[in-house]
Amino acid sequence: MNKKTKVRNFHQAKWDEPVIYELSNKGERGILFPEIEKEIEEIIGDGISRLPENMIRKQPPNLPELSQMRVLKHYLRLSQQTLGADLNVDIGQGTCTMKYSPKINEEFAKSPKVTELHPSQDERTVQGILEIIYNLDLFLREISGLDKFTLQPGGGSQAIFAMASIIHAFHESNGDSEKRDEIISTMFSHPSDAAAPTVKGYKVINIYPNEDGLPDVEALKKAVSNRTAGLLITNPEDTGIFNPKIKEFTQIVHDAGGICGYDQANANGILGITRAKEADFDLCFFNLHKTFSSPHGCGGPATGALGVTKELIKFLPVPLVEYDNEKFYFNYDVPKSIGKVRAFYGVIPAILKAYSWIMSLGSEGLKEVSQIAVLNNNYLLKKILEIRGANAPYARGRHRIEQVRYSWNKLYEDTGVTTEDVTCRMVDFGFHMWSSHHPFIVPQPFTLEPTESYSKAELDEYIAGLKKVVEEAYDNPEIVKNAPHRSVVHKLKTDTLDDPERWAITWRAYLKKNKK
Partner 1 sequence: MSKKKKIIHPYIPNSVPEIKAKMLEEIGVKNIESLYEDIPESLRFKEELNLPEPFLSEYALKRHVEQILSKNQTCQENLSFLGGDCWQHYVPAICDEINQRSEFLTAYAGEPYEDHGRFQTLFEYASMMGELLDMDVVNVPTYDWGQAASTSIRMAGRITGRTEILISETISPDRLSIIKNYCKPTIKINTVKYDPKTGKLNLEDLEEKISSKTAGIYFENPSYLGCIEDQGKIISDIAHSQGALSLVGIDPISLGILVPPSNYGADIVCGDIQALGMHMQFGGGLAGFIATRDEERFVMEYPSRLFGITKTTVEGEHGFSDVTYNRTSFHDRIEGKEFVGTASALWGITAGVYLALAGPQGMQELGQVIVQKSQYAVKRLSKINGVKIPFEQSSYFKEVVVDFNDAGKSVKEINKVLLEKNIFGGKDISNEFPELGNCAVYCITEIHSKEDIDRLTHTLEEYLVKEELQ
Among residue numbers 69 through 88, which ones bind partner 1 (CB under 8 A)? 71-72, 74-88
330 binds partner 1 (CB under 8 A): no
Q: What angle do CA 448, 286, 326 make, to 5 degrees?
A: 150
Q: How far is the CB of 470 from partner 1 (least distance, A)?
A: 19
3 binds partner 1 (CB under 8 A): no
Residue 447-476 contact track with partner 1, rule CB under 8 A, x = bound: -----xxxxx--------------------
User: Is residue 369 a contact partner of residue 268, using CB atoms and an 8 Å limit?
Assistant: yes
Question: Binding of partner 1 at residue 98 (CB under 8 A)?
Answer: yes
Determine the Cα–Cα distance for residues 66 and 75; give it in Å rounded to an integer: 12
Return the number of the residue (433 or 473) whose C-beta is nearest partner 1.
433
b/e string for 147-171 if b means 16 or more Cβ within 10 A? ebbbbbbbbbbbbbbbbbbbbbbbb
Name which position in 60, 211, 326, 335 contacts partner 1 (CB under 8 A): 60
Dmax of the chain from CA atoms? 82
Provide, rounded to whole angstroms, the least separation between the CB of residue 225 and partner 1.
19
In the complex, minimum distance from the CB of residue 503 to partner 1, in angstroms, rounded to a whole number: 5
Q: Using alpha carbons only, what angle is made at residue 94 by residues 469 and 140, rounded to the nearest 5 degrees?
A: 160
Interacting residue with partner 1 among 341, 417, 448, 463 (CB under 8 A)? 341
Query: Pattern of binders to partner 1 over 268-297, x per CB under 8 A?
Result: --xxxxxx--xx-------x-x-----xxx
Region of 62-70, 217-225, 403-411, 461-469 interacting with partner 1 (CB under 8 A):
62-70
Picking from 278, 259, 286, the residue whose alpha carbon sits closest to that of residue 156 is 286
Nearer to partner 1 by C-beta: 68 or 331? Answer: 68
Query: By rule CB under 8 A, what string of x and - marks binding of each residue 19-58 to partner 1?
Result: xxx------xxxxxxxxxx-xxx-xx-xxx-xxx-xxxx-
Segment contacting partner 1 by CB under 8 A, of 254-262, 306-314, 410-418, 480-488: 480-488
Residues 457 and 141: their CA atoms lie apart, in Å, by: 36
Residues 179-208 that bind partner 1 (CB under 8 A): 191-196, 198-201, 204, 206
Query: What is the strand order of the sheet 148-150 is part of?
Result: 148-150, 304-308, 283-287, 259-263, 228-234, 182-186, 203-207
Select from 210, 476, 478, 489 the one that contacts partner 1 (CB under 8 A).
Answer: 489
Which residues inside 251-270 make contact with partner 1, applying CB under 8 A? 270
Among 7, 321, 350, 417, binds partner 1 (CB under 8 A): 350
443 near partner 1 (CB under 8 A)? no
Applying CB under 8 A, among 9, 107, 255, 413 the residue interacting with partner 1 is 107
Q: Per residue, what are the HEC states of 447-461? A: EECCCCCCCHHHHHH
Q: Which of 11, 221, 222, 247 binds partner 1 (CB under 8 A)?
A: 247
Residue in 9, 68, 225, 226 binding partner 1, rule: CB under 8 A: 68
Cis peptide before 317 (omega within 30 of 0): no
Pick out residues in 372-431 that bind partner 1 (CB under 8 A).
372, 374-376, 378-379, 382-383, 395, 398-399, 401, 423-424, 427, 430
CA distances from 125 to 46, 133, 348, 492 (A): 37, 15, 16, 52
- Give dist(CA 265, CA 18) in Å, integer: 38
DSSP state at residue 407:
E
Residue in 91, 149, 150, 158 binding partner 1, rule: CB under 8 A: 158
Q: How many residues bind partner 1 (CB under 8 A)?
A: 220
List 119, 208, 226, 396, residue binding partner 1 (CB under 8 A) = 119
Q: Are 117 and 124 in contact (CB under 8 A)?
A: no
Cα–chain-centroid distance for residue 81? 21
Whether 283 and 138 have beta carbons less than 8 Å apart is answered as no
Residue 175 makes contact with partner 1 by CB under 8 A = no
Cα–Cα distance between 409 and 253 in angstroms, integer?
36
- Report which of 238, 315, 239, 252 is spatially closest to residue 280, judged by C-alpha positions: 252
Q: Considering the complex, what minimum distance in angstroms separates the CB of residue 314 from partner 1?
A: 15
Q: Pick the binder of partner 1 from 146, 267, 302, 392 (CB under 8 A).
A: 302
**Chain-centre distance of CA 433, in angstroms?**
16
CA 286 – CA 263 distance, rounded (Å): 7
Residue 206 and residue 359: Cα distance in Å, rounded? Answer: 38
336 counts as binding partner 1 under rule CB under 8 A? no
Stretch that binds partner 1, among 222-230, 371-379, 405-413, 441-449 (CB under 8 A): 371-379
Residue in 6, 89, 101, 387 binding partner 1, rule: CB under 8 A:
101
